[in-house]
Structure 1
């Protein structure tokens, strides 16, 4: 019984440690869009825009699904919503 518990614990440790690079990859910063950069966008999921009370250029992040079904992120520069009011 002790060997079986040890085997299960070892298996869980291997699974946990092998999955940690996957979580680390998600936390890296999204690449910045450059003019002419090809984007493979099948569906836009959301755009996180900078919040500001003054008219300025801020960095926004678009989350999208590519044609292979993978979720991707890209950052780009855009004017804040305050520019539309002025």
Structure 2
């Protein structure tokens, strides 16, 4: 019984963290990264990217906390994860 309760509590906590990150991201206007953009990243909350199975450039988004604890969202471009296996 205790293990089921502990697992349910852990699942509930994980779901709350995910919804907190989604709510925080919805309230913030994303900035687009350009070369030289100053970054103030204390803790990364989430990183997402467009789905791509091939190697190429994709759009990505990072949600993070800055040094004041405020949630920030940064859009940027990166090589897709499909490029990791190419030489």
TM category (shorter chain) comes to 0.5 to 0.7
Match of 1:59 in 2: 59
State the Cα distance separating 1:85 from its structure 2 match. Answer: 2.3
With the length of structure 2 as denominator, give the TM-score of the two structures: 0.62
With the length of structure 1 as denominator, give the TM-score of the two structures: 0.63
Q: Gaps (5+ residues) in structure 1?
A: 1-22
Count matched residues.
63
What value does the CA root-mean-square deviation take over the aligned residues? 2.2
Match of 1:38 in 2: 38
Does structure 1 residue 70 correspond to structure 2 residue 73?
A: no
C-alpha separation between the residues in 1 aligned to 2:56 and 2:29? 22
C-alpha separation between the residues in 2 aligned to 1:28 and 1:69? 13
> 4+ residue runs of structure 1 moved beyond 2 angstroms?
26-29
C-alpha separation between the residues in 2 aligned to 1:28 and 1:57? 25
